[in-house]
Amino acid sequence: MVKNDNDVYKKVLEKGLEQREVIEKTVKKIYDENKIDNIFFVGCGGSLAVMLPCKYIFDELSAITTNVYNASEFVNLKPRTFTKNSLVIVSSYSGKTPETVEVAKLAKEKGAPTIGFMGKVDSPLGEAVDFVFANQAETGVTDSKIIMLYQIIFNILKLRGEFDDYDGFMKALESLPENLVKVKETVEERAADWAQKNKDEEYFMVLGSGICYGEAYAQAICIFEEMQWIHAQPINAGEYFHGSFEIVREDTNIIILKGQDLSRPLAERAETFSKKYSNKVTVLDTKEYDMPGVDEKFRGYFSPLICSAVLDRYSKNIADVRNHPLSTRKYMGIVEY
């Protein structure tokens, strides 16, 4: 079992929460000074995936239109609905992703307000956006980013009069550093077993739906493919039955993320089918984890955070037994492309 880094992880989450007051002021300032017609979440890879739950939450709760784009697509297409009345939220862990920096510059030219999430403020993206949030994190990046993003978006929902328990939700958010560390502790053994069993696998299907699809996407393309060089395919659990399920055989390795959001029936349906036809199904059910202090009605929103905490342990364990550090790269940041 690989050593955990729960102390550092907890501190990074707490750092995300500490931004609350600044975030409240930032959102208020943006809304005081602008008429916001729509919101664009733009990034690449893992930094894109982390914003997908935000779109889900707006879809569920808000009458404002939100859009998620890969930064290159956005920069080339320049959607016509992107105007000076758009709020543009961008994210890049390094703060250096050129196409994401380009998005912030485009927004500035257009006169649209920008918020950026990154590792370090002192970066090209940090300089290009109006408001910057950085977590300086070496680990727990995803979860701390989601916490900061949630503080932003629930502030927007509150300002728009579309969410009536802001204080309750913020209190629930505060429970996360402790709760998510407990989630990680709970899965330690299971993650080590899973890694041992799966260390020689050459392909994974990673299924998710609704608020958890972003986690499935990131686990497949960022962890398995980028960081472990294992083929992995992210699949929306609702789309599964319209293509990919035809290749399932008894030795197909399938990971299913089962959140507590409105899309749960999609994951359940995928689980029932997969378990019938494959012997290698891993289900990550967020329902299994205690979250004291988190009201039932908020659990759906916290599903990606639970998935991320659990998958982080799975990922670090499999990297360890495969002797392939998560930081190893063949091309990224090494060759020209």
The 3-state DSSP class for residue 102 equals helix
Contact segment (CB under 8 A) with a copy of itself among 62-70, 128-136, 138-146, 316-324 equals: 62-70
Give the C-alpha separation, 84 to 297, whole Å: 35
> Whose Cβ is closer to a copy of itself: residue 183's or residue 271's?
271
Q: Does 337 bind a copy of itself (CB under 8 A)?
A: yes
Other Cβ atoms less than 10 A from the Cβ of 112: the count is 21
Give the C-alpha separation, 214 to 246, whole Å: 23
Q: Does 94 bind a copy of itself (CB under 8 A)?
A: no
> Whose Cβ is closer to a copy of itself: residue 99's or residue 130's?
99
User: Interface mask (CB under 8 A) for a copy of itself, residues 32-51, using x and -?
Assistant: ------x-----xxxxx---
Are 166 and 154 in contact, with CB atoms under 8 Å apart?
Answer: yes
Nearest of 73, 195, 90, 186 to residue 132 by alpha carbon:
90
> Whose Cβ is closer to a copy of itself: residue 69's or residue 131's?
69
Q: Does 268 bind a copy of itself (CB under 8 A)?
A: no
In Å, what is the CA distance from 113 to each residue of 3, 30, 58, 101, 237? 42, 7, 19, 14, 35
Taking the complex as a whole, the smallest distance from the CB of residue 78 to a copy of itself amounts, in Å, to 8
Size, binding site for a copy of itself by CB under 8 A: 64
Nearest of 19, 7, 287 to residue 146 by alpha carbon:
19
> Whose Cβ is closer to a copy of itself: residue 62's or residue 186's?
62
Q: Does 130 bind a copy of itself (CB under 8 A)?
A: no
> Whose Cβ is closer to a copy of itself: residue 131's or residue 204's?
204
Q: Does 101 bind a copy of itself (CB under 8 A)?
A: no
> Whose Cβ is closer to a copy of itself: residue 26's or residue 219's?
219
Give the C-alpha separation, 27 to 178, whole Å: 27
DSSP state letter for 2: P
Give the C-alpha separation, 151 to 22, whole Å: 10
Q: Does 320 bind a copy of itself (CB under 8 A)?
A: no
Contact segment (CB under 8 A) with a copy of itself among 21-29, 56-64, 143-151, 287-295 equals: 56-64
**Using CB under 8 A, which residues numbered 161 to 220 contact a copy of itself?**
203, 209-210, 220
- As a whole number of Å, the CA-based R_g of the chain is 19
Query: What is the residue-wise DSSP string for 243-275?
Result: TGGGG--TT-EEEEEE-SSTTHHHHHHHHHHHH
* The one among 2, 20, 34, 70 contacting a copy of itself by CB under 8 A: 70
Element (H, E) at 319: helix 299-321
Q: Does 99 bind a copy of itself (CB under 8 A)?
A: yes
* The one among 128, 187, 221, 319 contacting a copy of itself by CB under 8 A: 221
Site residues for a copy of itself per CB under 8 A: 38, 44-48, 56, 59-65, 70-73, 76-81, 97, 99, 203, 209-210, 220-222, 225-227, 229-231, 233, 236-239, 241-248, 262-263, 265-266, 269, 272-273, 277, 329-332, 337
